[in-house]
Amino acid sequence: MKAALHLNLGQNLTMTPQLQQAIRLLQLSTIELQQEIQNALDSNPLLELAEDNDAPAISASTNDAEAAGQASDEFSDHSSDESNGLDMDAPRDIPEELPVDSAWDDIFTGNTSTASAPDDDDEGFEARSTVPETLYDHLLWQVNLTPFTLTDKAIAVCLIDSLDENGYLTSPLEDILDAVSRLLPEVDIEEDEVEAVLHRIQQFDPPGVAARDLRECLLIQLGQLPEMTPMLDAALLIVREHLQLLGNHDQAGLLKKARLTESQLQAAVSLIQTLNPYPGGSISSSESNYVTPDVIVTRNKERWRVELNPETAPRVRINTGYASMVRRADNSADNQYLRNHLQEARWFLKSLQSRHETLLKVATCIVEHQRGFLEKGPEAMKPMVLRDVADEVGLHESTVSRVTTQKFMHTPLGIFELKYFFSSHVGTSSGGECSSTAIRAMIKKLVSQEDSRKPLSDNKIADLLQEQGIEVARRTIAKYRESLNIPSSSDRKRLL
């Protein structure tokens, strides 16, 4: 093959480092943004935390478009007042824009924007906090308080190791016996000893732990109730001999087999329903996850006000002391180092400002569309997709998607992710549209108001929605019901 040179013309899209940084900051969550700002503060000496906390928050009113623009302008003027003054005296050789598809280090040799890796020995307060207690720890603590012999304690530890997250014993006693025999080969252990230790553990907290099946779990909990508990004997009879009928909601069969009156059966079933079929779930090993809203929506008389939460990110500014040193026109290494970081600091603040303005603009548009939801609840949610907001605010759909991902809004009805306000729609008999979120809320309301003896089927729910002018198929009702974790009508049927 002969080598040759060719000249081709073409077009392609490229992004400058400023745009790449703006997009990256736009899609960060609140926690990630705080970490990014802290990394920038640690790596760039030209950035510092602002001490003045009386700055106005970014806000907008859905009833006044000019108020939204004015509030945004006030924030922009305030946040960039130092940088505007510094631009007048800054050296003219600092480029306004970087070449496309370039990196910071390609232009600025003194850049240290990448934060150093945290020291493994430097643990934060959260790392030194108490570890959440697990079911294993909770039971082992009780074992240490119980006067077990060394052999019985070894058996108890093996039994606890065989419990699942719900507190049920997953291994047969024969396997537990083999495991203990391997640990203590010099001790002769019988299966009766393992079962005796198991019965001791079954009296631990939480009630019903270490049961081998649901029947045993419920019997253990009933056995720990006071003897004077009303209908205790009937509940024991139902769980011990007729648990299958209870699971099938066979009221007629229970009345016949247990020889109880209807009122007695209802009282016994009510007692059984107070028991916990998953005792291990009461000892949670997961940490609580707290959500900090990015946008706060409040109502003042008849106007809805949208503002960014000032607590989501610390306010940063350019250090005027270091920036004043850049006014020198020399080409020393120190001055070059400061100039590089000054330009990077300006772009970082500009990207933050762009993120705040875009988030406020999208949130204001969402509130404007979903006033019915804010005033009447989920049943008044309107159908809305990303394109609707993108067309109105003049952004691309991908930008709106980045803004609404992992961003939360605090409303009088609670805290919701911005993605929650976007939903598909179904047609109505009048030719309009109804949001799928509103339909889910209607299904949840209908199920909560149904007769537990005769729960509503999916066909019946579809008919009730049809009466309200909403045309929804039975399969769609089933899909929405499953997304709400609502059981089928047969599983929702109760004896009460």
Q: What is the per-residue pLDDT across 426-471, written as a single tens digit (0 to 9) for each?
A: 777 676 778 888 888 899 989 888 887 788 899 999 899 888 888 8
The residue among 94 and 319 whose pLDDT is bigger is: 319
Range with top average pLDDT, 61-65, 94-98, 238-242, 320-324: 238-242
The residue among 436 and 125 whose pLDDT is bigger is: 436
Q: For residue 432, what pLDDT is reported?
A: 75
Q: For residue 77, what pLDDT is reported?
A: 39
Q: For residue 146, what pLDDT is reported?
A: 93
**Range with the lowest mean pLDDT among 71-80, 168-177, 188-197?**
71-80
Tell me how far apart the alpha carbons of residues 328 and 373 are, in angstroms, rounded to a whole number: 58
SS3 43: helix
Confidence of residue 102 (pLDDT cuts 50, 70, 90): low
pLDDT at position 66 over 60: no
Sign of the C-alpha dihedral computed for residues 121, 125, 127 and 130 taken in this order: positive
Domains of the chain plus CATH, in order, are 21-90+292-398 (no CATH), 135-282 (no CATH), 423-492 (1.10.10.60)
Confidence of residue 108 (pLDDT cuts 50, 70, 90): low
The residue among 142 and 68 whose pLDDT is bigger is: 142
Q: Which residues contact 323 (CB under 8 A, 6 or more apart)?
A: 46, 82, 86, 338, 342
pLDDT at position 231 over 90: yes
Q: For residue 229, what pLDDT is reported?
A: 93
Query: If we measure between CA atoms, which residue out of 234, 236, 257 comes closest to residue 245?
Result: 257
Tell me how far apart the alpha carbons of residues 344 and 323 are, in angstroms, rounded to a whole number: 12
Give the DSSP H or E segment for 49.
strand 47-49
The residue among 320 and 295 whose pLDDT is bigger is: 295
Confidence of residue 247 (pLDDT cuts 50, 70, 90): confident
Please state, in angstroms and as integers, the Cα–Cα distance from residue 260 to each residue in 110, 120, 275, 286, 320, following that order.
86, 66, 21, 43, 85
**Range with the lowest mean pLDDT among 104-108, 472-476, 478-482?**
104-108
Number of other residues whose CB lies within 10 A of the CB of residue 465? 21
Give the DSSP H or E segment for 151.
helix 150-161
Tokens of 288: 């609580």
Number of other residues whose CB lies within 10 A of the CB of residue 298? 13
Tokens of 484: 């709400």
DSSP lists the bridge partners of residue 131 as none
Per-residue DSSP letter, 62: T
pLDDT at position 110 over 50: no
CB 279 within 8 Å of CB 347: no
Q: For residue 59, what pLDDT is reported?
A: 57
- 333-386 tens-digit pLDDT: 877 888 888 888 898 999 999 999 999 999 999 999 999 999 988 888 898 989
pLDDT at position 91 over 90: no
Tokens of 146: 């119980």
Tell me how far apart the alpha carbons of residues 58 and 360 are, in angstroms, rounded to a whole number: 8
pLDDT at position 116 over 50: no
Q: For residue 316, what pLDDT is reported?
A: 87
Q: Give CA 390 to chain center in angstroms.
A: 25
The stretch 249-276 carries a mean pLDDT of: 90
Count of alpha carbons within 13 Å of 338, Cβ hemisphere only? 19
pLDDT at position 129 over 80: no
Q: Per this entry, what is the length of the chain? A: 496
Number of other residues whose CB lies within 10 A of the CB of residue 18? 17
Tell me how far apart the alpha carbons of residues 132 and 166 are, in angstroms, rounded to a whole number: 17
Tell me how far apart the alpha carbons of residues 378 and 8 are, in angstroms, rounded to a whole number: 57
Is residue 91 reached through a cis peptide bond, with omega within 30 degrees of 0 on the bond before it?
A: no
In the chain, the amino acid numbered 241 is E
The residue among 328 and 211 whose pLDDT is bigger is: 211
Tokens of 494: 């109760």
**295-300 vs 408-411, strand pairing mode:** parallel
The residue among 421 and 82 whose pLDDT is bigger is: 421
CB 281 within 8 Å of CB 268: no
- 409-421 tens-digit pLDDT: 999 999 999 999 9
Q: For residue 453, what pLDDT is reported?
A: 77
Number of other residues whose CB lies within 10 A of the CB of residue 164? 12
Q: For residue 115, what pLDDT is reported?
A: 42
Mean pLDDT estimate for the chain: 81
Q: For residue 230, what pLDDT is reported?
A: 93
Give the DSSP H or E segment for 138.
helix 135-145
The residue among 198 and 16 whose pLDDT is bigger is: 198
Count of alpha carbons within 13 Å of 155, Cβ hemisphere only? 24
The residue among 81 and 39 whose pLDDT is bigger is: 39
pLDDT at position 125 over 80: no
